[in-house]
Structure 1
Amino acid sequence: MDGLPPKPFVFLRHGETFHNRVRLIAGCLDVPLTPRGEAQARAARPLLERVAWSCVAVSPMFRARKTARLAVSTGTFCCHDDLRERHWGCWENQPIREPMPYFEHPATGESWEAFSGRVGQALVRVLNDFECPLIVAHSGVFRVIRALTQGSPLGPRVGNVEPILCRPPNAGHPHWRLEPLTADVLGELPCPVAAI
């Protein structure tokens, strides 16, 4: 895949799960949020509720759907199966490795190529259909975003319920920029934003 359509969007990782807390790989396991994870999602609501999202594109996994419901109520909610987390096969429920072998193909799991291909196609569909959507998904999905916009999936793991504004290249900036979404930059989004 060549890249993403040059449109801004916001990415939000789901709230904390027990697997996150104890550093286990959850992958395709449909694990719930912890109470702290639910509180993280509620804490993001005052900022995210100020935007009239054209679409809230959500992974079908429970931890993402619950985060989306707690963090935002505006916009059309669309569940996209291909935004689900990577299937890590025999590595699921095992400790997170440092560094994680993203490019290895775990037995009975998904290769990086298959995972990034399906996520990338889902992102292109969402961006082609909507202006400035909110995408609620997983750290693996953010790694695909990083690969498509920065050239590599490697880098620090995105935090739980840490909204990231993904800005496409423009005349002043020839490369995609991935930066925290703050109240200061809300006015730059191409969708209605409520005043404080």
Structure 2
Amino acid sequence: MTLTHKPFVFARHAQSTFNADYLIGGFTDSPLSEKGIQQAQQAAPILSVIEWSAVITSTLQRTQQTALHAVPEQAIVPYEQLKERNWGDLEGCPIEQQLAYEITPPNGESWQDFETRVISTLNTILSEHDWPLIIAHSGVYRVLNNVINGTPYCPKIGNVTPISFVPSQDENGWTITPFKGKIS
């Protein structure tokens, strides 16, 4: 699959209660921790200065709560298909039990199914909006890395660390940089 060549900013949600407890979250709808609320509020000076064409989240509360605190003046558009990967029987287990991405967890979602649903949804969003802010999950970021760079294995994205994705003539077709509060 390929990703539609239109610019957007991606941010992972703030710390959830499952993140704080080092548990596999996936489809589990864990809310933000107190630290997560602070992280989202601290991102507001960078993220809320722009009138985004859309603020997109998954339907999980950790992404929606992040958006409510980071871009409080803008409407949120949730997409069910942007939820984190379904880790099946591993949901709620210690993070050390997480499997390699290529392995389908028991009663969970395969990497291919996850990637297909995420890229299809991102392409729909990008066809409808110019410069959206997408607040989702680390798995969604790994899907982006896989489609652009050929591997889901990449440094973990920090909580509410906005990244700019801009189409380019580079080898991978994208310029990916930390977002500094301006769109060009």
* Normalised TM-score (structure 1): 0.88
Distance, in Å, in 1 between the alignment partners of 2:166 and 2:171 is: 11
How many residues were matched structurally? 183
Q: Is the 8 A contact 2:7 2:167 kept in 1?
A: yes
Q: Mapping of 1:22-171 within 5 angstroms?
A: 22-97=21-96, 100-170=99-169
1:179 aligns with 2:177: yes
Aligned residue for 2:93, secondary structure, equals coil
What residue in structure 2 maps to residue 17 of structure 1? 16
What secondary structure does 1:159 align onto? Answer: coil
Instruction: Determine if contact 1:52/1:74 at 8 Å carries over to the other structure.
Output: no
CA distance in 2, matches of 1:11, 1:66: 16
State the 1:55 CA deviation. 0.7
Q: Unaligned 5+ residue runs, structure 2?
A: none
Q: 1:192 matched to which residue of 2?
A: none
Structure 2 partner of 1:193: none
For residue 12 of structure 2, what is the amino acid of its counterpart?
Answer: R
Q: Distance in 2 between matches of 1:100 and 1:178?
A: 27
Q: What is the root-mean-square deviation of aligned Cα atoms in Å?
A: 1.6
Deviation at 1:105, TM superposition (A): 0.6
Deviations 1:111-157 (A, max 9, x none): 00111110110000000111110001110111111112222111111
Distance 2:153 2:96 in 1: 14
Unaligned runs of 5+ in 1: 189-196
2 CA distance for matches of 1:73 and 1:8? 22
Deviation at 1:75, TM superposition (A): 4.6
Q: Call closer, same or farther: CA 1:145–1:74 in 2, change over 3 Å.
A: farther
Counterparts of 2:156 and 2:92 in 1: how far apart (Å)? 18
Sequence identity (%): 39
CA-to-aligned-CA distance 1:5-52 (integer Å, 9 cap, x gap): 111100011111122123210111100111110010011111111111
TM-score, scaled to structure 2: 0.93
C-alpha distance in structure 2 between counterparts of 1:128 and 1:114, whole Å: 21
Give the equivalent residue in structure 2 for 1:8: 7
**Per the alignment, in what secondary structure is the counterpart of residue 97 of structure 1?**
helix
2:143 and 2:51 mapped to 1: Cα distance? 26
Tell me if structure 1 keeps the 8 A contact 2:42–2:70: yes
Give the match's secondary structure for 1:108.
coil
CA distance in 1, matches of 2:137, 2:183: 26
